[in-house]
Structure 1
């Protein structure tokens, strides 16, 4: 806990730049002060093999980020986390010519009772 997953239309992030982008995501989330131990944050970026936005023709893409956290953060803290993640996306995401790219971020609370975490 927490887990950050960023899914995106291929071509929006350079493959050779993913490590730096992940570092910026992690720094932004840790910088919020609402995550106690930096070692607990796990993040990943996933270029999706097939995507579709809407039904009409045209170049359309998206970036969707989900941060899963255990309960205990106020709505204001969760909103701050969402905005921090969105800022990194705005700064790092390519904007291919002629493509409309949608950005969405959400913070989701996990159920503490069913979550298992241990160091192997």
Structure 2
């Protein structure tokens, strides 16, 4: 835990990179809420999207962070703001009008299961 999923408009394909995911992971680590090896992130582009009704070049980055339930609203707000700030600083939209959002989603602690498998050496 946590699981970060970044959905984005495909006109940002050169902007959303593994390096950006590492920036996001570092921001999450710096909150002090998560262990380094537990932070998992991935990015999913969308080829078919519409933003508003104008022909103005626009893009979006929507980050959804799934975390185990039990943190206060203030803590979740701090995590969201830290992640948003890191994404804003790292993303260079070029000529696009860009919307960046972060959503924190609670995962029910009682129904979550996880296993750590050691590599075969």
Q: Which runs of 4+ in 1 moved over 2 A?
A: 11-15, 54-58
**Counterpart secondary structure, 2:41:** strand
**Counterpart secondary structure, 2:24:** helix
**Counterpart secondary structure, 1:21:** helix
Residue aligning to 2:76: 78
Query: Superposed, which structure 2 residues align to 1:1-120 within 5 Å?
Result: 1-12=1-12, 14=14, 18-35=17-34, 37-97=35-95, 99-120=96-117
Let me know the Cα RMSD of the aligned residues.
1.8
Paired residues, what number?
117
**Counterpart secondary structure, 2:10:** coil
Separation (CA, whole Å) in 1 of partners of 2:69 and 2:40: 17
TM-score computed with the length of structure 2 as normaliser: 0.85
TM-score computed with the length of structure 1 as normaliser: 0.86
Stretches of structure 2 lacking an aligned partner (at least 5 in a row): none
Do the aligned partners of 2:23 and 2:90 also contact (CA within 8 Å) in 1?
A: no
